[in-house]
Amino acid sequence: MSAQTGFIKGIVIDPKSKETLVGVSVIVDDTAGTVTDINGNYIFQTRSGIHKLDLKFIGYKSQTTTITVPENDTLILSSMLESDLQQLDVVVVSAGRFEQRLGDVTVSMEVLRPSLIESKNASTVESIMEQVPGVNMIDGQANIRGGSGFSYGAGSRVLLMVDEMPMLTADAGDVKWNFLPIENCEQIEVIKGASSALFGSSALNGVINFRTAYPKDIPETKLIINGGYYDRPKRNELTWWEDGNPTFGGLNFYHGRKIGQLDLVIGANVFDDKGYRELETEQRYRANVNLRYRFKKIKGLSVGVNANTIRTQGGLFLIWQDADSGAYRPAGGDLSHYTTYRTNIDPFLTYYNDSGARHSLRGRFFRTKNLNNTNQESTADVYYSEYQFQKRFKKDLTVTTGLVYNYNEVHAGALYGVHFSNNASAYLQLDKRFFKKLSVSFGIRGEYFKTDSIETNETIYFLLDKSKPIAKNSKVKPVSRLGLNYQFAKASYLRASFGQGFRFPSVAERFIKTTASGLDLYPNDSLKPESGWSAEIGIKQGVKLGEWRGFVDLAFFWTEYENMMEFTFGQYGPLTPPYTTPQLLGVGFQSQNIGNTRITGFEVSVMGEGKLGPFNMTALLGYTYIKPIQTDFEPATDTAKATTQENILKYRYEHTAKGDVELTYKKIGFGVSCRYNSFMKNIDRFFVEEISGIKGVKKYRENNRNGDTVFDGRISYQINKTAKFAFIVNNVFNYEYMGRPADIQAPRSYAVQVTLKF
């Protein structure tokens, strides 16, 4: 070592929680530096003498000190950063794959805290997603700002991620919401708009990132026990049970602790639902573990594995018998009974070097095994691997780049057949801050797909100009994004973004062949990939009322899709034998490219938390308007398949409004949720025609054309530091409403919940 150099060695701590802080920027003389590692430590070599040392971390006040570095020696520091309470303290990672303050991101985002999941007694993430402004759930499929319709659970345009890695099945490419370990949830981040440049295929309409937690310095154990029952429907003739109301109940367990250099989290869930619809029951058993070892002798290195497994069994309801006494009874008097096993194992390695660069290598094995009473079993395996490099350079430049390889196997006999698929991609993300006010984000990604012998074969254009193609028959599909965020006042942010998206058909969309509730699902091996883009202009304004802090957000968006894929209900062959081909057997669903579409609209949302007078208040509110149309609409043919003469995409709500507010006074808490959806104007015309065999949809829609408003309520009491009691009522006014056609939602339900934390 030169006689003119020395070392700075330190640790950065939150003074309130006493937790070490990971990823704090340590800057020497405004030119060079490093970041704190997984243990909150850092070490940096510099010239001996007097220097300026800056510590910067999102959500905390920056700290500047003058230090003297001794020659041939080490200056040891212990620093504490205080939280910055001038704005709502929300930090996200999904927008740019690194930690950012919510106000600085260049896209529309919503954040769900685990406290909302707990207070609403949500049994799955699916039910809590209904409270997110601009998000609708139809048969388990997430729809962000009208980007999706009804696709019977196959081929999601919204990418579900767990800890920033995709969690879509290899066969249907769908989301298994009850698989997500809500007992170990740190935060749920929702990105609205095309995000394929960052996260790949299926992020065409947005991203939901479920982040699991690691333990704090103080061990924590949490146990939540709940139970309840479904009330009688408002129309007595809908009550199908005779021996008492259907019940539900469950238990969540979480324990997290640090054992030396080992971080350990274990969780479990047991849930039993007798079902408000006849024969549609669910029993599940879930267990999960997060392990991470932080090496002492190799600074900055950590390795670990996360794993989650579930067993579920029950019955799958699709279509009612009729709109009257059979609304909660399955068509045909029976339904498919299933047993499903799902497991993911996620090994990882993370290394921070002395210059602050981060190398991460992550993998995922995800198996879904479905057993049922219809002899159409399937096993689907996902093998996912990703290498990522990230470095924060001087002058606020962050570079993120990576390579991804994804291999899938599907063995499904008569249901799908046997199929193999490959997906390889590379991405680059640049994030730069100018003048401490302007954030610029640019990303580009190249995707290659192959399913069996069919692979990517795209014509590449320059952005939106399709007059002169750059390349034809390309095996790689490039997508890009650009985002800007300008802080024009202390808590005021103006943003604009543009992102492209691309999605390859799932195995289920191309090859499915099955029957459910008397309806067939047909294959379509001629499906084309869909692509699109999303643009947005938005403004986010921080607000402060006493000690209550929040954001008001207004966004205008424009999205276009080419070759949009949707399941379409209709007649695909003769109704009676003999059939002309073995694949076209009559009435049912088939995934089709419906054409080119455009969705425009605007959204306003409010989120915040803090003390307002004598109350602690949290709030999440929003209103969304969309105009979803086909740009190649042909009235003579398209309206013949629809229930309206208007040019409007099927299975969309033009107006939606969401709200959740919780007030806490001393030991008592009170919360209320509200959801409004306008009337779904357009569905497949076949649903309302007698030839379909589905009874009562037309009449039910004619009698219920004013949209639906549903309220939930809850009250809680903090008994002591350890125990909390809550009473929850969902659908308070016992309102009857239909989600998608022939599927009336749950009547009022009552539940009690006991939470123990120690």
- Region 280-298: mean pLDDT is 95
User: What is the identity of the amino acid at 683?
Assistant: I
Q: In the chain, what are the domains?
A: 5-80 (2.60.40.10), 91-757 (2.40.170.20)
463: confidence class by pLDDT, cuts 50, 70, 90: low
Query: Which pLDDT score, from 0 to 100, does residue 580 have?
Result: 47
Q: What is the Cα–Cα distance from 356 to 45, expressed in whole angstroms?
A: 12
Residues 61 and 84 sit within 8 Å (Cβ to Cβ): yes
- Indicate if the pLDDT at residue 88 is higher than 80: no
Which residue's entry shows tokens 């539940």?
751
Segment 249-269, tens digit of pLDDT = 999 999 999 999 999 999 999
- Indicate if the pLDDT at residue 720 is higher than 80: yes
586: confidence class by pLDDT, cuts 50, 70, 90: low
Q: What is the Cα–Cα distance from 247 to 283, expressed in whole angstroms?
A: 12
- Region 39-56: mean pLDDT is 84
408: confidence class by pLDDT, cuts 50, 70, 90: very high
Query: Which pLDDT score, from 0 to 100, does residue 394 have?
Result: 75
- Indicate if the pLDDT at residue 110 is higher than 60: yes
Query: Which pLDDT score, from 0 to 100, does residue 516 have?
Result: 67
Q: Characterize the bridge pairing of strands 418-434 and 438-451.
A: antiparallel
- Region 537-553: mean pLDDT is 91
- Indicate if the pLDDT at residue 757 is higher than 90: yes
User: What is the identity of the amino acid at 376?
Assistant: Q
3-state helix, strand, coil in the chain (%, to 5): 5, 55, 35
Return the minimum-mean-pLDDT range out of 200-209, 652-661, 676-685. 200-209
Segment 600-652, tens digit of pLDDT = 999 999 999 988 889 999 999 999 999 999 998 888 777 777 888 899 999 99
Segment 374-394, tens digit of pLDDT = 777 899 999 999 999 998 887
Return the minimum-mean-pLDDT range out of 151-160, 477-486, 531-540. 151-160
- Residue 60's contacts (CB-CB under 8 Å, 6 or more residues apart) are 14, 21, 81, 82, 83, 84
Total residue count of the chain as it appears in this document: 758
Q: What is the Cα–Cα distance from 181 to 184, expressed in whole angstroms?
A: 6
Segment 573-584, tens digit of pLDDT = 555 554 444 444
- Indicate if the pLDDT at residue 277 is higher than 60: yes
Query: Which pLDDT score, from 0 to 100, does residue 59 have?
Result: 66
Segment 318-371, tens digit of pLDDT = 889 999 999 999 988 878 889 999 999 999 999 988 777 899 999 999 999 999
- Region 205-217: mean pLDDT is 89
243: confidence class by pLDDT, cuts 50, 70, 90: confident
Compute the mean pLDDT over every residue in the chain, rounded to the nearest whole number: 88
- Region 646-675: mean pLDDT is 95
- Region 79-83: mean pLDDT is 80
Segment 137-186, tens digit of pLDDT = 988 888 999 988 877 666 788 889 999 999 999 998 888 899 999 999 99
Query: Which pLDDT score, from 0 to 100, does residue 490 have?
Result: 84
User: What is the identity of the amino acid at 668?
Assistant: I
Measured from the Cβ of residue 679, the count of other Cβ atoms closer than 10 Å reads 13
Query: Which pLDDT score, from 0 to 100, does residue 441 have?
Result: 92
| CA atoms 417, 374, 340, 199: torsion sign | positive
Query: Which pLDDT score, from 0 to 100, does residue 34 have?
Result: 82
Q: What is the Cα–Cα distance from 651 to 147, expressed in whole angstroms?
A: 10
- Could you tell me how far CA 542 lies from the centroid of its own chain? 24
Q: What is the DSSP string of 158-179?
A: EEEEETTEE---TTT----GGG
- Indicate if the pLDDT at residue 411 is higher than 90: yes
Torsion of CA 449, 475, 513, 415, to 10 degrees: -40
Q: What is the Cα–Cα distance from 394 to 392, expressed in whole angstroms?
A: 7
Q: What is the Cα–Cα distance from 483 to 496, expressed in whole angstroms?
A: 6
Q: What is the Cα–Cα distance from 228 to 728, expressed in whole angstroms?
A: 9
